[in-house]
Amino acid sequence: MEKTLHTFLKSGLIEKYVLGDTSPSEELEVEYFIERHDEARLEYENTQKNLEIWAKANAVEAPTSILDNILGEISEKTEKQTPVIHLKERNSHTPWYSIAASIVALVFAGSSYLLYQQNQSLNHENDVVVDEIFDLRSDIDKNNEKLDDVMKQFMKLNNPDTKKYVLKGNERAKNLKTVAYINPVEKTSMIDVATLPQLPNEKCYQIWAEVQDRMVNLGILDPSESNLQNIPYLEDALGLSITIEDKGGANTATADNSVAEISLQNK
């Protein structure tokens, strides 16, 4: 049964269950393990918490309502009054049928012009709607791509082989807190920037990996990035360190600049 439970935890069914992407038979299987195994129940609760973190970190602001724009434009056009043509009275004795013919001609000309204007307006509105539909489809495609990326990172985050390391700041950066996720099986490394104290514009945060007797540069941390940032994976890394360097980063790390460090040999 332990082997079956391990296989179940690595199957990814719990992540699919939380996201509502399981079949009825898969739902029964997930609920069976959650009810009978504490490990499965704990994994389910952690997955829910991680999903909430990702939802907040990757929230996308909704686009401006297309319908409101179209209704506003139509309302503005309907408020404009059609100009009225006033005919001056004449004292000449023009036959009544000539007057009637003139009136009909004027009415016909006015109606034709009005219809032409309305047709032009509708064509313009139609072009606007088509453009906005294409823009909306493009936004949907981009959001789907972002959702796929989030799903992939979410699966990595909840992989049983992924180890979690919390880096807390020292006296120089008391509020600093980052979380590193390292998977030695898939050979991936990610870091979640939870809290990075504000630095002067000429300074930056840089992350390093300790490999035997030297420090290897893993890149500069961006405080504005609230989601996971990928960092290079090093097979023989003994620890991680974060330093404060001049803008652009440094080629070598010094102990005096270190604000957070952790050993990778304690898990």
What number is the average pLDDT over the span 141-151? 68
Residue 13's nearest CA partner among 24, 27, 32 is: 27
Give residue 6's pLDDT. Answer: 85
* Percent of residues, the chain, with pLDDT higher than 90: 25
Question: What is the distance between the alpha carbons of residues 242 and 219, in angstroms, rounded to a whole number?
Answer: 10
Give residue 99's pLDDT. Answer: 63
Give residue 251's pLDDT. Answer: 92
What number is the average pLDDT over the span 93-122? 72
Least confident of 41-45, 62-66, 136-140: 62-66
Tell me the CA distances in angstroms from 69 to 73, 75, 123, 235, one per residue in order: 6, 10, 16, 55
Highest mean pLDDT range out of 83-97, 215-229, 245-259?
245-259
* Interacting residues of 30 by C-beta distance below 8 A, sequence separation 6+: 13, 14, 17, 22, 40, 44
Residue 194, φ and ψ in degrees, nearest 5 = -80, -55
pLDDT at 87 over 50: no
pLDDT at 151 over 80: no
Question: What is the distance between the alpha carbons of residues 33 and 206, in angstroms, rounded to a whole number?
Answer: 43
Q: What is the pLDDT of residues 156-183, one digit of tens each?
A: 676 788 889 998 989 888 889 889 999 9
